[in-house]
Structure 1
Amino acid sequence: MPHNKRLLGIIVGAVAVLALAVAGSIMFLNSGAGQDFVGTYPGYAELPENTPTGFPAWLGWQHFFNFFLMALIIRTGIRVRTVQRPEAYWTPKPRKSRGGRGTKTGKKISIDLWFHQLLDVLWVLNGLIFVVLLFATGHWKRIIPTSWDVFPNALSAAMQYLSFNLPNVDAWYNYNSLQLLSYFTVVFVASPVAILTGLRTSEFWPKSAEGLNKVFPMQLARAVHWPTMIFFVAFIVVHVILVLVPDAKTQLAYMFAGTDQDTWLGVWLTIAAVAVTIGATLASRAALIAPLARLSGKVTRK
């Protein structure tokens, strides 16, 4: 009961803060000072010369794979944290110990945790490919700040959103500064934090490294890993809303069809991507995961 009251208090407080932010933004932007501020900082910063425009095919595929893997990672992460009695367990195949004397059996873990870690590896590989292509093609200039003007422009964009006005910028050519900072944070801050804390809590972390374990204890990794996942969920929700609200057809054509033409192809590709992701998420049960897990270990009920 106290927990419910605390949660209700947090929700009421968040709504109150949001209402004040909306009212304050509207009042400020309707004032002379607010109009001057937006005139100076329209919500987007100028990009460096020769910055690529548009959304190449590799970016669309990367976007889909990231969404697909993230949905499964979030689901399995929640199951790892909340399921008391897993449907099955996975134990790695015995391997020879050092010196070739005898065999060593790894730790038994829930099949949900095994699948979660497998998805994490795929997500990291996908992310590495994304970063390599980002710098190889010059598209890094679109999501890495190159001017201090990005910060006042991000504030301007935030107030424009809060006052129910969208920053006047076309994502085909440039992101508004709030988007730019958000994407930078997701790719270069939140993702490395998720990887590092996830690695620390996994079986891949060297347990014998006492000095390293003291500097980065398990308790700290667990305390940071879960809120990082909550951040990703919140980002995805807000990101989807802000993509769909202004002009869903155009925005989806940009990202999923890779074109700035007037077409419904992006919408249909998005529907297909969402359907595939939902289907895979619902199908990710022990009975269907077990054959894959048996390729690298033993699956048991207990």
Structure 2
Amino acid sequence: MDLGFPWWLRVEHFLNIIFITFLVRSGLEILGTYPKLYRSQHTVPGTAWAQFTVQEEAKHKYYTVGGEYSDYSPRISLPGRGLLGLGRYWHFITVTGFVACWITYLVLLLATGQWRRYVPTSWDTFSQAGQDMLAYLAFTMPQPLDGMVFNALQQLSYGFVILVLTPLVILTGAFQSPAIANHFSRITRLLGGRQVIRSIHFLCMVGYVVFFVVHLVLVFLHGYLHETSKMVFGHSDKPILGGIIFSLGLLLVLALHVFATRWTLTKGRAVEKLHNLVVRPWSNLLYKLPSRMHYDRSNITGKDVGLANTTHNFRGSGRPPETPEYLALMANCYEDDYVLEIGGYVERPMTLTLAELRELAAGHSQTTLHHCVQGFTSIGRWRGISMSTLLDLAGPLPGATDVVYTSFQNMGRDDALYEGGTYYESTPMVEARLPQTIIAFELNDEGEIPAKNGAPVRLRLETSTGFRSLKWLERIEVVNRYDIILEGRGGYFEDTDFYDRNQLI
């Protein structure tokens, strides 16, 4: 069998240069918004094993939402400047192409027998790889294996990247999706938990970068024109022409990065439209994965270090409302004054006090993992009433499609990093009725929810990223259209920043 360079392999090789470089740059943008890595589920301040920021740990008990962003340069990350939403858009657009390319490549490898180029058929290959390494260190060129275009070290290296590193990076990327991680929570825990998964994903990125650097060095050692001719024509008979064409291809890749960066920084909504066209068709399928997390009290953040009071260890993000109305509720301990309104496109509008919510909840609670869009996590035990139960009580009218949640918080007043506007979120009806979508009023069996975590009542959307689990809940409204509210994108950050309402990934 000819284990040379068929046309489809050469096409895949070039596409992967584009995909992996875009994944690395957009991945750095995502990392930059929470540039710390941990060994456990609990992102307790001061316990990171690695961090990539010069900012000091926040000292205030109330974190601003964007207060920990590191502003990486657009020359490094895509698009740069701490634009997490746009970085996520590019990451998921590229993931779509990268995974499709890898699956196609595997099918073709199996169908054509080309898998032998990466899978050793003899244990002698491993000892030969050691000898090849010594040859490189001595600045001599090892010979290819019999019937192969690679030497033993190249075969094992390429096989590892394609058959081990790539599946691992796809797996760890998938299990950073709240919908996937929370539906398959036993697998999430088997993999070490969200933060271990996140760390492994980062190390996979490092692995790709190291491979690229070593691969580039070897291309020059073996002869740049000789090797690039193989990647263009499938043989080394036209080294000069092959080298020119491949170099022009690399310039094209560079031009794509420059264009993507500048286009994103000036036309963010156009990138959003591209994301919605490419990503939403498959990401919407994740609504079919209801959250079914399997955690217990021993997993609560803070329990692992023996804390008696764990609520202060459940990470908060954002500052509580500062209106006289909310401050009065806080001063009176919420109990007698707070009323949750439920109305809109329903048969039976209603108001519910905290006591009535407790009675309706009938002791229901769930211990779940919070996935912040930045990357931090905490495990908490929430007591509350399922949103589906509240909807059944209110009776959505025919044609009701979405549920809108309004907070007491005004971002410009309460979080100075952002423009003014009431914080709100919305969910499609299918998300509102997921079994672990609840209206919570107690955290970790320790009484009311602390102010930093959304007192007195908050929304919990366990299949979504954390900013959509709205805190300081004031009102719930059932609607038949969400796209006519304010900017029409379904939430405060969706309207003012670049976040998709579908935050299942």
TM-score (norm: length of structure 2) = 0.43
Asked whether 1:69 is paired with 2:69, we answer: no
Equivalence for 1:184? 159
Larger Rg: 2
Corresponding position of 1:33: none
Q: Does 1:244 align with 2:220?
A: yes
Distance in 2 of aligned mates of 1:208 and 1:58: 36
Letter matched to residue 248 of structure 1: Y
Q: Secondary structure at the match of 1:52?
A: coil
Change (3 A) 1:170 1:252: farther
Distance 1:210 1:144, change over 3 A: closer
Q: How many angstroms does 1:53 deviate by? A: 3.3
Shift of 1:247: 1.4
Match of 2:272 in 1: 293
Residues 10-33 of structure 1: CA deviation (Å, up to 9, x unaligned): xxxxxxxxxxxxxxxxxxxxxxxx
Letter of the 1:55 counterpart: F
What letter corresponds to residue 115 of structure 2 in structure 1? Answer: W
Deviation at 1:113, TM superposition (A): 1.2
* Contact map agreement 2:132 2:153 (CA 8 A) in 1: yes
Distance verdict in 2 for CA 1:88–1:178, change over 3 Å: closer
SS at match of 1:264: helix
The corresponding residue for 1:41 is none
Describe the shift of the 1:171–1:274 C-alpha distance in structure 2 as closer, same or farther (beyond 3 A).
farther
Counterpart-to-counterpart distance in 2, 1:300 and 1:275: 36
In the TM superposition, what is the alpha-carbon distance from 1:169 to its structure 2 partner?
3.1
What's the CA shift string for 1:223-270, capped at 9, x where partnerless? Answer: 101011001000011001101222111111111222231342221221
Name the amino acid aligned to 2:272: A
Are the aligned partners of 1:76 and 1:112 in contact in 2 as well (CA < 8 Å)? yes
Residues 1-302 of structure 1 aligned to structure 2 (within 5 Å): 51-83=1-33, 84=69, 110-169=85-144, 173-203=148-178, 205-216=180-191, 217-285=193-261, 286=264, 287-288=266-267, 290-294=269-273, 296=276, 298=489, 300-302=495-497
- Offset of 1:82 from its aligned partner? 1.5
Question: Whose strand proportion is higher, 1 or 2?
Answer: 2
Code of the residue aligned with 1:242 in structure 2: it is L
Match for 1:59: what amino acid? L
Relative distance call for 1:187 and 1:72 in structure 2 (3 A) is: same
Alpha-carbon distance in 1 for matches of 2:228, 2:156? 21
Higher relative contact order (CA 8 A, sep 6+): 1
**Matched residue SS, 1:294:** helix
Aligned length: 233
Q: CA 1:65–1:150 in structure 2 vs 1: closer, same or farther (change >3 Å)? A: same
Q: 1:197 to 1:57 in 2, by over 3 A?
A: same
Q: Report deviation, 1:71.
A: 0.8
Structure 2 gap segments, 5+ residues each: 34-68, 72-79, 281-488, 498-505
- Checking the alignment, whether the CA contact within 8 Å between 2:86 and 2:271 is kept in structure 1 is no
CA distance in 2, matches of 1:171, 1:262: 24
Instruction: State the identity as a percent.
Output: 26
Question: Structure 2 vs 1, CA of residues 67 and 204 (structure 1 numbering), >3 Å: closer, same or farther?
Answer: farther
Which amino acid in structure 2 is aligned with residue 265 of structure 1? L
CA–CA separation in structure 2 for the residues paired with 1:116 and 1:171: 40
For residues 129-173 of structure 1, what are the alpha-carbon distances to aligned partners after superposition, in whole Å with 9 as ceiling and x for unaligned? 111111211111111111001011000100000011111338994
Residues 144, 151 of structure 2: 8 Å contact kept: yes
Q: Which runs of 5+ in 1 are unaligned?
A: 1-50, 90-108
